[in-house]
Amino acid sequence: KMSCCGLLTVQKQPVPLKSIEVQLEVRDHVATVVSTLNYENKEDKPLEAVFVFPLPGDAAVCHFSATIGQTQIIAEVKEKQQAREEYDDALSSGQQAFLLEESEQSPDIFSLSVGSLPPGESASIRLEYVIELAVQADDGLRFCLPAVLNPRYEPQGASVQVTSVPASLVPYSLSFSARVSSPRPVSKVESSCSLDPLQYLNTEQTQATVKLAAGHKFDRDVELLIYYKDAHQPTAVVEAGQASAKPGTLMGDPVVMLSLYPEFPQSVMSSVSSCGEFVFLMDRSGSMGSRMNNSESHQTRISSARDTLLLLLKSLPMGCYFNIYSFGSSYEHIFPKSVEYSQETMEEALKKVEVMDANLGGTEILEPLKHIYSQPCIPSQPRQLFVFTDGEVCNTKDVINLVKKNSGSHRCFSFGIGEGSSSALINGLAKEGGGHAQFITGTDRMQPKVMQSLRFALQPAVVDISVTWDLPKGVSVTALSPPITTLFQGQRSLIYAQLTGQSSDAAEGCVTVKYSLAGHPSQNQLHFSLKPEEDTGLTVHRLGARTLIRSLEMEEREHRGQQDGGVKEKVVELSVQSGVSSSFTAFIAVNKGNNKPIEGPLVHRDVPVPSEFKIFVLTTMHFFKGNIKSAMKRPPDAPLLHDAPQPSRDPLLQLVSLQKASGCWVLDPALAAALGKTSEEVEKPKPASVGYLWATILALIWLHGFKMDAKEEWELLAMKAVSWFRAQNAPCVAECVEAGNTLLGCAVQRDVLGL
């Protein structure tokens, strides 16, 4: 059983947290986040409190300090067991202490123990972390400050009870400001929350500040999307080492960060592959019944997911294989094993998709994944797995390890739906599965992002990737990033490396990425100056250290139990040297200046959680939305949000749902209705004996004439329709296009349609 009390302690005392201030500094693709948490002990006894809160999964925590009254204590990174013992010793000898550590189960959960805060005393805790910003489908860089710590499902159907606290009762405030600078102009910054207008700091518009509008209630994630002009320029940042560190060590040498955007030859990209085994794994846990965002008018997550599956199934190429799994506490599949894609199998799958509901309980993702991987692969049909979930699981590391173990046999594309989906889970699935991750929150439509990932999945797999360095004599390079295993057209790859040795300020380096694509050898090059940038605050070093620490931790988990004790020591050494957190270390701060014996016993605030969780969840700093909870508590047969009157179907989806698997449309009353015409109007101008051809041309003209703003959603299925059309060798194309334009009131040119 895992019980969490929103913002109340066990004895129903209010949380001693007063306010949170967050400052974000974004430099190009990298962000430094400084959070200050202000506490006050309002009880009449000394307090020990444990807070559990989420950070982005790939954040590198690099500074932790506490200020009590006039005293500031800066934490040091130590081996975890040693840190815990020092914390206990400090408390028992009457000293104040603070301990910050990463959860054993998931790298994006931290617990903070605030020990021995005297009655009436205030403490402010400062936490700094650095993070790479992920590139979204539309080239926006995404930063997310998680507000909601969803209860993590534990395997074996543990029940979850949560008391939620409405936003109006949140006793603490959040202030949030961001400063963005880049070599390229900042074109816009968008957010899921209301922002004050963007302020540019210079005429080139390469520096800007933005902050949250006043009165923000921390009732949801704060998500920022940052857009630069010419986002696809490759860049290199060389950062000077730390003056106090020894040359030759990671912190003492310069570190380079490269952002690469491989561009593939057009000839290869136009030949989209028409084979593959597409496996879709859909979350149907209770919380998928809640809305995409806080507004009542939005559709539920599950209905958005159903529309998305419709588009995916219509866009698959003839001759491929597919299957659809869905999961909650248990899992189901539509076919016992993947079947060939045809009109019959597509129709059978869509019938089952239409009745899918959010009625399968918890988020138990490990078992369906094991089942998918136990199926033999189909020769010359590369397996592509699409995972859709809004969930947080507490066995994140096990799930990601399973995907990694099978990374040789498939690519994994992941989608985090709604606020609060775990970035560690979603990014980890895609990273270890050689695919791509997308987050769909708030008012985003799911479809464009998913269709972009399908386009990636249809790209030929890039193989034989190698990175070679050309550096001046006397300079050597040590890679800090694991080898690149996947590349997608127009997607960023980041590489970190340590540069050892001396070079003149004018010296240049060059890095070449070579790879093979659909049998063609290709390469991309980037030349860069070796002169280090000053005052970058060691951000690049810390991200490089974090990258290396993460790959070593992965290696340690794979070899656990074998006699290779060296990896853990290496991680601890790196973590202590760079000041970056890891799963084997913790931040410990002890206030040695205060040895007054403590009056009366310490009040310890915590809520028991399962032993494998290894942390006390006291008051989570975050609270849960009532609707998610009610969805979890609902008995399996209770009615879902489906009984509400369904809004009329989106005309685009209505037209798409009529397309045949081969790509064509049939001339019938349903098509006429979708085009907003009567059967007679559609039949009358039809050139002789071309029913399917005429219907398909009408559908294509309608898409180009009325739905260009949603082109990324229907582009693949239109390409399929055009291929079908060309194969018919129709004689009277020009005449059909002209008649179709006249009927629909459009002016779409024949070459635009691809005919």
Q: Are the C-beta atoms of 311 and 656 separated by less than 8 Å?
A: yes
DSSP 199: E
Q: Which residues pair with 142 in a beta bridge?
A: 134, 225
220 in Cβ contact with 622 (< 8 Å): no
Give 444's pLDDT tier (boundaries 50, 70, 90).
low
Q: Based on the domain organization, do 580 and 545 belong to the same domain? A: no
117 in the same domain as 148 = yes
* Whole-number pLDDT of residue 607: 27
Is 292 a domain residue?
A: yes
What pLDDT does residue 166 have?
A: 41
Better-scored residue on pLDDT, 615 or 431 = 431
H/E run at residue 187: strand 186-191
8 A C-beta contact, residue 225 and residue 133: no
Whether the per-residue pLDDT at 162 is higher than 60: the answer is no
Residues 346, 486 within the same domain: no
Average pLDDT rounded to a whole number, residues 433-439: 86
Give the separation between CA 424 and CA 578, rounded to whole angstroms: 22
For residue 533, the domain's CATH number is 2.60.40
Tell whether 289 and 402 lie within a shared domain. yes
Please state which of the ranges 39-53, 237-251, 461-475 shows the lowest mean pLDDT: 39-53
Q: Which of 152-166, 195-209, 526-540 has the highest mean pLDDT?
A: 195-209
Residue 752 has pLDDT above 70, yes or no: yes
Same structural domain for residues 436 and 380? Answer: yes
Confidence at residue 628, expressed as pLDDT on a 0 to 100 scale: 31
Same domain for 478 and 539:
yes
**What average pLDDT does the chain have?**
79
Question: 163 with 289, same domain?
Answer: no
Residue 472 lies in a domain: yes
139 in the same domain as 178: yes
Span 614-652, pLDDT tens digits: 222 222 222 222 333 333 333 434 333 333 344 467 889
Range 353-371 average pLDDT: 89
How confident is the model over 167-187, as a mean pLDDT?
A: 78
- Token match 């990636």: residue? 456
Higher per-residue confidence, 393 vs 497: 497
Has residue 673 been placed in a domain? yes
**Is residue 487 located within the same domain as residue 447?**
no
Q: What is the mean pLDDT of residues 302-325?
A: 90
pLDDT of residue 294: 59
> What tokens appear for 519 in the block?
């049998």
Query: Minimal CA–CA distance to 440: which of 364, 386, 494, 370?
Result: 386
Taking residue 633's Cβ as centre, other Cβ atoms within 10 Å add up to: 13
Q: How much of the chain, in percent, has pLDDT values that exceed 90?
A: 31
Q: What burial letters (b/e) apply to 12-47, b meaning 16+ CB within 10 Å?
A: eeebbbeebbbbbbbbbbbbbbebbbbbbbebeebb
pLDDT value of position 291? 78
Structure tokens belonging to residue 265: 């030859």
pLDDT at residue 49, as a whole number: 67
**Tens digits of per-residue pLDDT, 36-85?**
888 777 777 776 766 666 777 778 899 988 888 778 888 999 999 999 99
Query: Is residue 532 situated within a structural domain?
Result: yes
Q: How far apart are CA 52 and CA 31, in angstroms?
A: 23
Neighbouring C-alpha atoms within 13 Å toward the C-beta of 159: 5
Is 487 in the same domain as 400?
Answer: no
- pLDDT band with cut points at 50, 70 and 90 for residue 577: very high
Q: Measured between alpha carbons, how far is 6 from 143 in angstroms, rounded to an integer? A: 25
Scanning the structure block, which residue is given the tokens 């986040």?
33
Q: Which residues pair with 618 in a beta bridge?
A: none
Please give the residue range of the domain that contains residue 8.
2-230+576-622
Domain edge (last residue) among 458, 488, 508: 458
pLDDT, position 518: 75
Helix (H, G, I), strand (E, B) or coil at 692: helix
pLDDT at site 417: 87
CB hemisphere CA count around 595 (13 angstroms): 4
| One-letter amino acid of 631 | A
pLDDT of residue 149: 39
Q: How far apart, in whole angstroms, are the C-alpha atoms of residue 539 and residue 239? A: 8
Q: How many CB atoms lie within 10 A of CB 535?
A: 7
Q: Is 385 helix (H, G, I), strand (E, B) or coil?
A: strand
Residues with Cβ < 8 Å from 724, sequence gap 6 or more?
A: 662, 663, 664, 696
Q: How many domains does the chain have?
A: 4
Tell which of 566, 591, 611 closes a domain.
566
pLDDT for 387: 94
**Residue at 633 is within a domain:** no
Last residue of a domain, one of 441, 458, 475: 458
Helices 446-458 and 711-727 pack at an angle, to 10 degrees, of: 50
Which of residues 298 and 142 earns the better pLDDT score?
Answer: 142
Does 267 fall in a domain?
no
Assign 562 a pLDDT band (cuts: 50, 70, 90): low
Say yes or no to pLDDT of 605 above 50. Answer: no
Model pLDDT, residue 586: 92
Which element (helix H / strand E) includes 604? strand 603-605
- What was the pLDDT predicted at 561? 62
Q: Is the pLDDT of residue 594 over 60?
A: no
Angle, alpha carbons 356-362-367 (nearest 5°):
85
Q: Cα–Cα distance between 18 and 171 in angstroms, integer?
A: 7
> CA-CA distances (angstroms) from residue 117 to 13, 63, 112?
16, 21, 13
DSSP notation for 273-317? ----EEEEEEE-SGGGGSBSSS-TTSPBHHHHHHHHHHHHHHHSP
Lowest-pLDDT choice from 171-180, 539-548, 737-746: 171-180
- Identify whether residues 330 and 449 lie together within a single domain: yes
CATH of residue 350's domain is 3.40.50.410
The torsion angles phi and psi of 430, rounded to 5 degrees, stand at -70, -40
- Does residue 336 surpass a pLDDT of 90? yes
Helix (H) / strand (E) element for 727: namely helix 711-727
In a domain, 639, yes or no: no
Name the token pair of 53: 């809160």
Pairs from 648-653 (Cβ < 8 Å, separation ≥ 24): 650/307, 651/676, 652/703, 652/707, 652/710, 652/713, 652/714, 653/307, 653/310, 653/311
Residue 614 lies in a domain: yes
> Which residue, 654, 732, 728, is CA-closest to 692?
728
Answer yes or no: is pLDDT of 22 > 50.
Answer: yes
Percent of the chain with pLDDT over 70: 81
**Does 550 have pLDDT greater than 70?**
yes
pLDDT, tens digit, for every residue of 251-307?
999 999 998 887 777 776 665 566 889 999 999 988 888 877 656 667 788 888 888
Query: Is pLDDT above 60 for 239?
Result: yes
CATH number of residue 67's parent domain: 2.60.40.1730
Instruction: Please check whether residues 169 and 56 belong to one and the same domain.
Output: yes
Handedness of CA 728, 734, 740, 743 (dihedral sign): negative
Res. 156 pLDDT band, cuts 50 70 90: very low
How do 30-40 and 122-132 pair as beta strands?
antiparallel
Whole-number Å distance between alpha carbons of 540 and 497: 10
If you write DSSP's letter for every residue of 22-91 in order, what string do you get? EEEEEETTEEEEEEEEEEE--SSS-EEEEEEEE--TT-EEEEEEEEETTEEEE-EEEEHHHHHHHHHHHH
- In this prediction, residue 8 carries a pLDDT of 35
